[in-house]
A and B are shown apart, each in its own frame.
Chain A
Amino acid sequence: MNELVASFGGRARRIARRIFSRPRIDLPLAIGLFALALAGLTVLYSASNLNTSMVAGQASRFLIGAALLLAVSRIPPSLLRAWTPWFYLLSCILLLVLTVLGEGRGADRWLDLGVIRFQPSELMKLAMPMMIAWYLHPRPLPPRWRDIAAVGILTGIPALLIVKQPDLGTALLVVASGMFVLFLAGLQWWKIGAMLAALAGAAPIAWHFLHDYQRERVLTFLHPENDPLGTGWHIIQSMIAVGSGGLAGKGFNQGTQSKLEFLPEHTTDFIFAVLGEEFGLVGVLVLLALYVFIVGRCLWIAANARDTWSRLTAGALGLAFMVYVIVNGGMVSGFLPVVGVPLPLVSYGGTSAITLLTGFGVVMSIHAHRKWTP
């Protein structure tokens, strides 16, 4: 009996040593992610009206994500880089399949593979920075104009497919993650300025291609009081929730705005408002600090990586992660229009949590292999 326990204990120790020794995961980043997941589950527990099965479902997705993170972190970056074009191609094909299958069914972002259902656009959020980094890896930096054009095509095709879903918010985020790679690759400031100016000039043209509901969202954002029952209702109720939370919040499970169903989508896109209502400004700042810490750590890992692909990928993933937080935070506080962007690792939802953690697996791999020649 004792032997059995001892041998089991020994085995567990060996497994633990293998996971936590070489190649090592970055402990500060892991702790940051763990703390974030824990905070996310706590808020979700309250936001879902103490629905344990929902929390258990989310926790199991975190576990799947964590397993993928550990698995990916053991793969050398050179191998990940070699797989990148295939991963990108697969994501594009899935988006294309969705466009073909989803024809005429309204806003359908889900691909149903029988066993699992997921959003290919979430996959693209990970594939995009990896692909642009793969493209720029062997080329001279800062990027030349023709490289910028190539990057434009690589980001443009999947972005158009996502816009067609239609999911403008995600499309913009996917484009942004590609642009971050260009930025980190040292694109000259004057070129950045020129591109931004061109973008501002193109905005009125893009307006014509927006869906009615997308224009409506922008207009509602500008004048929320005009539409107190539609999208404006979301913004007003969300601002009331956040504002009434005050400095210290109303306390766990005490938020009237979410409990009495004034706040829509309170387990998904608007979960940040639940946090603001129940944990107040203190809770909001703690959560934001946690995000900033995670992103800072990502950038530090990127700065210490050994090759261009690793640096660009880790850096862009970190910046994109931060952008999700800023867009979602801006949305629930009435600062930005309502776009369906979840709060990373806090909003209820499977694909997002799993792909984000897989992305951090890539960052971990880059960190773990910084000293060894692959």
Chain B
Amino acid sequence: MNGHGELPDERAKRARFGRRALAGFAIMLALVLAVAGRFVYLQVHEHAEYSTRAKANRVRLRHLPPPRGLIYDREGKLLADNIPAFRLDVIPDKVQHMDAMLQRLAMVVPLTDDDIRRFKQGLRQHRTFEQVPLKFRLTESERDRFAVDQWQFPGVSVDPYLTRNYPYGAEFAHVTGYVGRIDEKEQARLDPDRYAGTTHVGKTGLEKQYEDLLHGTPGYELVEVNADQRPLRVLQRVPAKPGRNLYLTIDERLQRATITAFAGQTGAAVAIDPRNGNVLAMVTVPSFDPNLFVNGISQADYSALLDDPEKPLLNRAMRGGYPPGSTVKPFIGLGGLELGLRKPDDTVLSTGTFYIPGVARGYRDDQRYGAGRVNLMQAITQSVNTYFYSLALQMGIGRLDQWMAKFGFGSPTGIDLPDETGGVLPSPEWKRKTFKQPWYPGETVISGIGQGYWMVTPMQMAHALASLADGGRSYTPHLLAATSEGLETPETPYPQAPPRQLTHDPADIAAVMQGMLGVVNSPLGTAYKAGIGKDFPYLIAGKTGTAERYSRTSEAYNTNRNAQYLAERHRAWFICFAPADHPQIAIAVVLERGAWGGSAAAPIARKMLDQWLADTPPSDRPPPITTPATQTAAAPITP
């Protein structure tokens, strides 16, 4: 004992602890012996039994991945489909020399460097006894060639699977998005039970947004295998539950008509049903073929898409920010009325240049000597800057921002797609945060005509217009209308957020609408020359917008330059809704290079209206009105 000089009490404590430690050790020893006895029982007494069971352990669990839900447009056209295909799988454990085998295999079935690179990546993600896909979508001749030489490649097999297919290709690439191979990051995030046996996952668009609905529940099979682990028969099978089918609000015919109308010009268009927020068309030009991404895009194809100066991968409809120009005028004019700052008939004198009191710099009107005295309707119809310069100054940037934010400017609309951007609603706080600079009164003035730091996505513009068209009611735009478990089961409507009322006096909206009717139908209207209101069964209300891509270097401004020159400098907007008395579609079109909104963008919107309201009127649309559009619209406008 080491207890020199210990107190008697300490010695008693130590002795008591010694007894307890011994008792504890004895109890533990007894328990260990019990466990050891259990092992003796299993490994000696029952050894023969378990040895037989291990050898006969031939029942394997095989996961059955669920078929992915399908995606339909509003008329039942199939936008995303599953088609049977074949792929080449490798079980790494059964391959002795992987690189040599791949070299020999490449002589039978062509393997690209991309295939090999992706396969090597797959080797890291899977366990060595699991199948790792090597090449997807084998052609028939590749399958035949491999079948002949299969005996040379133990561990390599051709397996059937369902692959995602987008029959309309580029038309819906920015709507449906695409699925792709599960990568290492997703592997870590996804529930391993739900994704057992699944190779693909939604990467962008609706495929990503509604991954949870589309994926379904996997099933399993109990398979009896022989000593080489080859399956002999299925003992029990619990089928996979397919993912839910999605029924969209979008219309394939309108989408196609819109793309055709763009004729390859870079830009975007969005059409929304103002009565419910249904997105009817969502077009981005140029687009890309989503099928390229499904089984792994080749490096060359991917580089080509990335290097394209027109950026086909950019979803312009909801991620492209454009200065809105004059398209903000109806909204700001409405703000003037709703905030009680102006009455519809209050006039402003336009002389060609607007000055902030006490400041030398002038702000220009489009007409060199001004439009004279104009009220709100005339100011919208002729897009008179001075009216809105003075209104913006009167509102002040704070109230202007607050009002425009109500219509969704400056924040994402909340459409059911991932990664939507919110544009820029310029405000002193925003400028301070972004540029660390103070706000100048001149910036308030130009905010009134949609110039300056403004950035708006076509989705935001269409959403704001739809809210205005439906009497100030704002619905969150959405693409998903309903889901169903399969073709046989009824569709379940997908719940939508209730609308919010943004305005309080219907007369205010009526006044703004008069101005917008004039844009299209009055001879003074900025879109009149394009003739988009001609020979159309309904009244169209619209607004043009032409925003400058670059800031001008001098005050001199020559509107007589040729259209090509102007197109390079301008973004052309046109927004419209129809029928004006009972709006069923609100459209926003933007062209990245358009000379003027009225001449370049408006005809595209007209072709969309033709498709939706005139050419194939579905049963639920109202009968066409009989009075010619131009006459009724011309009445309230006094030039």
Find chain A residues with CB under 8 A from B32 CB: 288, 291-292, 322, 325-326, 329
Inter-chain CA distance A158–B44, complex, in Å, is 42
A81 within 8 A of B: no
A31 within 8 A of B: no
Which of B21, B49, B229 makes the CB contact (< 8 A) with A302? B21
Say whether, besides A243-B42, A308-B13, A311-B14, A299 and B25 are in contact (CB < 8 Å): yes
A315 within 8 A of B: yes
> In the complex, which residues 1-48 of chain B have their Cβ closer than 8 Å to any Cβ of chain A?
2, 13-14, 16-18, 20-22, 24-25, 28-29, 31-32, 34-36, 38-40, 42-44, 46-47
Which of B2, B25, B35, B128 makes the CB contact (< 8 A) with A49? B128
Q: Is the CB of B31 within 8 A of A244?
A: no
Q: Is the CB of B35 within 8 A of A326?
A: yes
Q: Is the CB of A141 within 8 A of B39?
A: no
Find chain A residues with CB under 8 A from B20 CB: 183-186, 315
A15 within 8 A of B: no
Find chain B residues with CB under 8 A from A184 CB: 17, 20-21, 24
A77 within 8 A of B: no
Q: Is the CB of A246 within 8 A of B44?
A: yes
How would you classify the secondary structure of chain A's contact residues: helix, strand, loop or mixed?
helix
Find chain B residues with CB under 8 A from A330 CB: 35, 38
Say whether, besides A276-B43, A284-B36, A180 and B14 are in contact (CB < 8 Å): no
Which of B2, B14, B36, B54 makes the CB contact (< 8 A) with A257? B54
Find chain B residues with CB under 8 A from A141 CB: 13, 16
Q: Is the CB of B46 within 8 A of A295?
A: no
Inter-chain CA distance A240–B43, complex, in Å, is 10
Find chain B residues with CB under 8 A from A280 CB: 43
CB distance from B126 to the nearest CB of A (A): 12
CB distance from A47 to the nearest CB of B (A): 12
Which of A186, A247, A262 makes the CB contact (< 8 A) with B43? A247
Which of B16, B51, B127 makes the CB contact (< 8 A) with A243? B51
Find chain A residues with CB under 8 A from B42 CB: 239, 242-243, 276, 333-334
CB distance from B230 to the nearest CB of A (A): 13
Find chain A residues with CB under 8 A from B49 CB: 243
A217 within 8 A of B: no
CB distance from B331 to the nearest CB of A (A): 41
Inter-chain CA distance A247–B229, complex, in Å, is 27
Q: Is the CB of A244 within 8 A of B54?
A: yes
Say whether, besides A246-B47, A291-B32, A330-B35, A299 and B2 are in contact (CB < 8 Å): no
Q: Is the CB of B18 within 8 A of A303?
A: yes
Q: Is the CB of A315 within 8 A of B54?
A: no
Inter-chain CA distance A142–B46, complex, in Å, is 46
Say whether, besides A184-B24, A299-B21, A243 and B50 are in contact (CB < 8 Å): yes
A42 within 8 A of B: no
B53 within 8 A of A: yes
Find chain A residues with CB under 8 A from B54 CB: 240-241, 243-244, 256-257
Find chain B residues with CB under 8 A from A304 CB: 2
Q: Is the CB of B17 within 8 A of A303?
A: yes
Inter-chain CA distance A101–B109, complex, in Å, is 51
Find chain B residues with CB under 8 A from A285 CB: 36, 39
Q: Is the CB of B39 within 8 A of A281?
A: yes
A-B contacts at CB below 8 angstroms, number = 139
Q: Is the CB of B38 within 8 A of A261?
A: no
Determine which residue in A142, A285, A299 has the highest number of CB atoms from chain B within 10 A of its CB, and name it. A299
Say whether, besides A241-B54, A246-B47, A247-B43, A333 and B35 are in contact (CB < 8 Å): yes
Find chain B residues with CB under 8 A from A371 CB: 2
Determine which residue in B2, B20, B28, B43 has the highest number of CB atoms from chain A within 10 A of its CB, and name it. B43
Q: Is the CB of A303 within 8 A of B44?
A: no
Inter-chain CA distance A323–B129, complex, in Å, is 35
B152 within 8 A of A: no
> In the complex, which residues 254-286 of chain A have their Cβ closer than 8 Å to any Cβ of chain B?
256-257, 259-262, 276, 280-281, 284-285
Q: Is the CB of A288 within 8 A of B35?
A: yes
Say whether, besides A183-B20, A239-B50, A311-B14, A261 and B39 are in contact (CB < 8 Å): no
Q: B324-349, CB under 8 A of A: which get 1 and which 0?
A: 00000000000000000000000000
Q: Is the CB of A246 within 8 A of B43?
A: yes
A156 within 8 A of B: no
CB distance from A14 to the nearest CB of B (A): 29
Name the CB-closest residue of B to A256: B54
Find chain A residues with CB under 8 A from B44 CB: 246-247, 281
Which of B13, B28, B55 makes the CB contact (< 8 A) with A326? B28
Inter-chain CA distance A262–B229, complex, in Å, is 12
B61 within 8 A of A: yes
A245 within 8 A of B: yes
Q: Is the CB of A292 within 8 A of B57?
A: no
Determine which residue in A242, A256, A334 has the highest number of CB atoms from chain B within 10 A of its CB, and name it. A242
> In the complex, which residues 107-142 of chain A have their Cβ closer than 8 Å to any Cβ of chain B?
141-142
Q: Is the CB of A288 within 8 A of B47?
A: no
Inter-chain CA distance A312–B28, complex, in Å, is 16
Inter-chain CA distance A371–B128, complex, in Å, is 55
Q: Is the CB of A333 within 8 A of B39?
A: yes
Q: Is the CB of A257 within 8 A of B57?
A: yes
Which of A186, A260, A295 makes the CB contact (< 8 A) with B229? A260
Which of A245, A276, A302, A322 makes the CB contact (< 8 A) with B28? A322
Q: Is the CB of B17 within 8 A of A311?
A: yes
Say whether, besides A292-B32, A295-B28, A303 and B21 are in contact (CB < 8 Å): yes
CB distance from B22 to the nearest CB of A (A): 8
Q: Is the CB of B21 within 8 A of A243?
A: no
Name the CB-closest residue of B to A336: B35
Q: Is the CB of B17 within 8 A of A319?
A: no
Inter-chain CA distance A306–B229, complex, in Å, is 62
Name the CB-closest residue of A to B36: A288
Which of B17, B24, B43, B127 makes the CB contact (< 8 A) with A284? B43
Determine which residue in A276, A296, A329, A334 has the highest number of CB atoms from chain B within 10 A of its CB, and name it. A329
A252 within 8 A of B: no
Name the CB-closest residue of A to B129: A261
Inter-chain CA distance A180–B49, complex, in Å, is 39
Say whether, besides A296-B25, A326-B28, A335-B35, A315 and B17 are in contact (CB < 8 Å): yes
A370 within 8 A of B: yes
Q: A94-109, CB under 8 A of B: which get 1 and which 0?
A: 0000000000000000
Q: Is the CB of A303 within 8 A of B38?
A: no
CB distance from B623 to the nearest CB of A (A): 54
Find chain A residues with CB under 8 A from B24 CB: 180, 183-184, 299, 315, 319
A229 within 8 A of B: yes
Find chain A residues with CB under 8 A from B31 CB: 322, 326
Inter-chain CA distance A287–B342, complex, in Å, is 90
CB distance from A68 to the nearest CB of B (A): 26
Q: Is the CB of A244 within 8 A of B53?
A: yes
Inter-chain CA distance A251–B429, complex, in Å, is 72
Find chain A residues with CB under 8 A from B14 CB: 303, 311
CB distance from B15 to the nearest CB of A (A): 10
Name the CB-closest residue of A to B17: A311
Name the CB-closest residue of B to A186: B16
Find chain A residues with CB under 8 A from B53 CB: 240, 243-244
Find chain A residues with CB under 8 A from B61 CB: 229
Inter-chain CA distance A284–B53, complex, in Å, is 21
Q: Give the B-binding residues of A (Cβ under 8 A).
A: 49, 141-142, 180, 183-186, 229, 237, 239-247, 256-257, 259-262, 276, 280-281, 284-285, 288, 291-292, 295-296, 299, 302-304, 306, 308, 311-312, 315, 319, 322-323, 325-326, 329-330, 333-335, 370-371
Given contacts A281-B39, A370-B2, 17 further A-B contacts (CB under 8 A): A141-B13, A240-B57, A242-B42, A242-B43, A243-B53, A246-B44, A259-B129, A261-B127, A262-B57, A284-B39, A295-B25, A295-B28, A299-B22, A302-B17, A325-B35, A333-B42, A334-B38
Which 9 pairs from chain A and chain B are nearest by CB?
A243-B50, A244-B54, A329-B35, A243-B42, A281-B43, A322-B28, A246-B47, A333-B38, A299-B21
Q: What are 10 pairs between A and B in contact, CB < 8 Å? A: A183-B20, A184-B17, A184-B20, A243-B53, A281-B43, A311-B14, A319-B24, A322-B32, A325-B32, A371-B2
